[in-house]
């Protein structure tokens, strides 16, 4: 395994995951970047839209920009923390948006939580990311 390679593992002794990895092994000495939680707010400060899909898309785009600024990308994301306000309704859309950004062949470890509300009225989604910076 190259010194900067991530290993995405799903041990047989753990439940089979659906769309995420149970374990991500980060190589020794790797640099990590933690992004602040990102929501569906555009750079101009406005909420991307009243619908979940627009907000999720904007949150993932914000993360993509943050990762690029740190010298990395979604290929090196090791963990996603996702917060939704109604998983039963929003879950399928979340999966569609997420799968356009993450490596679905080696997806990051993930946690999705349903929360009663986020910090600003009208927000429906927040995304928390930990990634490795290659090199």
Q: Which of 11-20, 55-64, 69-78, 112-121 has the lowest mean pLDDT?
A: 11-20
CATH 3.30.1330.40, domain 7-133, yes or no? yes
Q: Going by DSSP bridges, is the β-strand pair 109-114/77-84 parallel, antiparallel, or unpaired? A: parallel
Q: Kindly state the average pLDDT of the residues 69-84.
A: 96
Cβ proximity of 56 and 97 under 8 Å: yes
DSSP alpha helices (H): ranges in the chain? 52-69, 87-101
Residue 132, H or E segment: strand 125-133
Q: Is the pTM of this model over 0.85?
A: yes
Cβ proximity of 33 and 73 under 8 Å: no
pLDDT band of 76, cuts 50, 70, 90 = very high
Report the alpha-carbon distance of residue 101 to residue 129 in Å, rounded.
12
Residue scoring higher pLDDT (46 or 2) = 46
């Amino acid at each position: 395994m190259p010194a900067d390679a991530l290993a995405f593992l799903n041990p047989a002794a753990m439940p089979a995951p659906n769309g995420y990895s149970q374990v991500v092994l980060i190589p020794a000495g790797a640099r990590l970047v933690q992004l602040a939680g990102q929501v569906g707010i555009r750079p101009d400060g406005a909420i991307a839209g009243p619908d979940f899909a627009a907000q999720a898309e904007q949150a993932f785009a914000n993360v993509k920009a943050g990762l690029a600024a740190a010298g990395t990308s979604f290929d090196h994301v090791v963990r996603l923390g996702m917060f939704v306000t109604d998983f039963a309704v929003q879950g399928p859309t979340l999966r569609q948006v997420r799968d356009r950004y993450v490596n679905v062949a080696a997806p990051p470890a993930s946690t999705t939580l349903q929360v009663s509300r986020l910090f600003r009225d009208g927000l429906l989604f927040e995304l928390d990311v930990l990634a490795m910076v290659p090199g």
